[in-house]
Amino acid sequence: MARIPIVVIVGRPNVGKSTLFNRLTASRKALVHDLPGVTRDRIVGEARVPGGRRVMVVDTGGLLMEDEDHFIPLIREQAEAAMSGADAVIFLLDGASGPLPEDHDLAGMLRLRGVPVVPVVNKADRLGVDLGAGEFFSLGLGEPISISAEHGTGLSELWEALEPWIEVSEDEAAEAEVEGEEERELRIAIIGRPNVGKSSILNRLLGSERVLVSEVPGTTRDAIDEVVEWEGRRFRFVDTAGIRRKGKTDRGPEVLSVVMARRAIERAHLCLVVVDAERGITRRDAHVAGYAWEAHRGVALVVNKWDLAQDRARWRERLEDEAARHLKFMRHAPVLYLSAETGQGVSKILPTLVAMGEAFDLDVNTSELNVLLRRAWSESPPSAGGGREAKLYYATQVGRRPPAFALFTNLSGEVHFSYQRHLENVLREYFQLAGVPIKVMIRGRKRRGK
């Protein structure tokens, strides 16, 4: 694949890194809040340089060289890993506060890494900030660029300053554009309650400690994208914050985390619903899974921490009973028993997602569909009322992602939902649509006068 330049945004907490990331990528992927330390993992997005070229932008957590916070060393590791593969670094600074000792510490660290650094003074829209930008020369990183991430001013000057390090040849640019148009990736959201192992599963799939993992519930706050390529297929995984039941979420960034997780579900095709094998499947898990099902996304149930099971037959029976009670709406979903800790069973995830992706994007031959449904209809027809015979004229597929079907009949009233479910089961079994929602619409003749 053509190489796309990578630009990493670093800086101390609460200088506006996520706001700048969202501005450059024309997205709302990064969570923005006044509270310092909201971003913990690194988040990746695509930006378009003036002229149309693509650049990958990486948002990182707030950097401090010394702090007693549990997450600071982990955040620093994530930022350093991002910078190790960067073409250039944006060192974002707070123009309203001026250069602080923490900024000088970070500047020293950046000089030692040898990566091209562009110092950028944010909040230039505030009175006097632009005039004071020269103070940041003391960091020894060259002339700073003044911008306002919130209002989008100064970005053309920023791209111009980055240009020497993000240039690609005309051939590479053309190749990247073609690939961008032709890529068909499958988007998967990893969802679940806090601390069930979502980030650990993604790290295991990636083969690296890409996502920050801690025993502290709520470690992940943003929805974090990562791409996996396997057997010629491209998967974009989104690790989400743990979703708590309404009323159990604190104010501030935790509320926003749930919003970001639900937004990740909306832009996904499929969802991996992760549960804890030891704790079992609860109503809280059903609450999380319900978001995916209501959004009409394909779902697979992932039972993590399976390595803890002492009596696997008994544990499996217990989990199946809990799933039957709490997850009736996704009774057709594939179930994967695995351990992110040991890697056992993780290899089943990608083949399962391939099958689900093909089912989610199903395009049915109309004649084959009519043969199948006419047979099911004749073997068990619905009641037409008034002693009349229920007739199926024809059926057709009317939607994809997920599949939707319409049946045209002589029925004049509503068909009981159980019969619709019967036809859904027929379609699901024949076309192997495990875990994929199906919509069946039975349309009849309008009554006279209506």
Please report the pLDDT score of residue 241 as a whole number.
Answer: 63
How does residue 405 score in pLDDT terms, banded at 50, 70 and 90?
A: very high
Q: Are residues 235 and 260 in the same domain?
A: yes
Q: Does the residue 1 lie in any domain? A: no
Cβ neighbors of 51 (< 8 A, separation 6 or more) are none
Instruction: Say yes or no: 355 and 372 in one domain.
Output: no
pLDDT at residue 128, as a whole number: 63
Domain count, the chain: 3
292 & 374 share domain: no
The DSSP secondary-structure symbol of 243 reads P
Choosing from 360, 387, 408, the residue where a domain stops is: 360
CA Rg value for the chain: 26
Residues 202, 200: Cα–Cα separation, whole Å: 5
In a domain, 282, yes or no: yes
Same domain, yes or no, for 281 and 305? yes
Q: Establish if 74 belongs to a structural domain.
A: yes
CB 83 within 8 A of CB 90: no
Instruction: Evaluate the CA torsion angle 149, 153, 154, 158 in order and state its sign.
Output: positive
Distance CA 144, CA 140 (A): 10
Give the mean pLDDT of 358-368.
94
Element (H, E) at 407: strand 404-409
Is residue 352 domain-shared with residue 375, that is, in the same domain?
Answer: no
pLDDT in tens, 167-204: 754 444 454 444 443 347 899 999 988 889 888 898 89
Residue 180: partners with Cβ closer than 8 Å, 6 or more residues away:
54
Residue 67 has pLDDT above 70, yes or no: no
Closest C-alpha to 382, from 419, 407, 410: 419
Residue 448 inside a domain? The answer is no
Q: pLDDT tens digit string along 279-335?
A: 999 998 998 899 899 999 999 999 999 999 999 999 999 999 999 999 999 999 999
* pLDDT exceeds 60 at position 388: yes
Window from 157-166, 171-180, 221-230 with minimum mean pLDDT:
171-180
Is residue 48 within a helix (H) or strand (E), and if so which, with residue range? strand 43-48
Q: Answer whether 241's CB lies under 8 Å from 260's CB.
A: yes
Share of the chain above pLDDT 70, in %: 77
CA quadruple 179, 200, 43, 191: dihedral sign:
positive
Q: Let me know if residue 450 belongs to a domain.
A: no
Render pLDDT for 230-256 as a digit per residue (tens, 0 to 9). Answer: 888 889 888 776 555 554 444 444 445
Report in angstroms the alpha-carbon separations of 267 from 223, 225, 261, 297.
Answer: 11, 12, 10, 9
| Cβ proximity of 267 and 223 under 8 Å | no
Residues 198 and 74 in one domain: no
Average pLDDT, the chain: 81
| Domain housing 257 | 184-360
Single out the residue in 152, 179, 206 at which a domain terminates.
179
Task: Give yes or no: residues 262 and 308 share one domain.
Answer: yes
SS3 134: helix
227 falls within a domain: yes
Asked if 310 and 387 sit in the same domain, the reply is: no
CATH code of the domain covering residue 385? 3.30.300.20
418 & 307 share domain: no
| Burial group, residue 47, by CB count within 10 angstroms (0-12, 13-18, 19+) | buried
Has residue 88 got a pLDDT over 60? yes
Q: Whole-angstrom Cα distance, residue 28 to residue 59? A: 12
User: Rounded mean pLDDT of 8-33?
Assistant: 78
User: For residue 28, what pLDDT is reported?
Assistant: 61
Contact 220, 264 (CB under 8 A): no
Dump pLDDT digits (tens) for 412-444: 878 888 999 999 999 999 999 999 999 999 988
Residue 166 confidence class, pLDDT cut points 50, 70, 90: confident
Instruction: Determine the pLDDT at residue 341.
Output: 92
Do the beta carbons of residue 145 and residue 161 sit within 8 Å? yes
pLDDT of residue 265: 86
Asked whether residue 110 falls in the same domain as residue 193, the answer is no
pLDDT of residue 269: 94
The secondary structure of 150-163 as a DSSP string is TTTBTHHHHHHHHH
CATH number at residue 114: 3.40.50.300
Residue 209 inside a domain? The answer is: yes
Query: Which pLDDT band holds residue 40 (cuts at 50, 70, 90)?
Result: very low
Domain identity same for 168 and 236: no
Which residue, 153, 179, 205, sits at the end of a domain? 179
Query: What pLDDT does residue 35 have?
Result: 40
- Angle between helix 312-326 and 283-294 (nearest 10): 60
Indicate if 388 and 412 belong to the same structural domain. Answer: yes
Please report whether residue 449 resides in a domain.
no
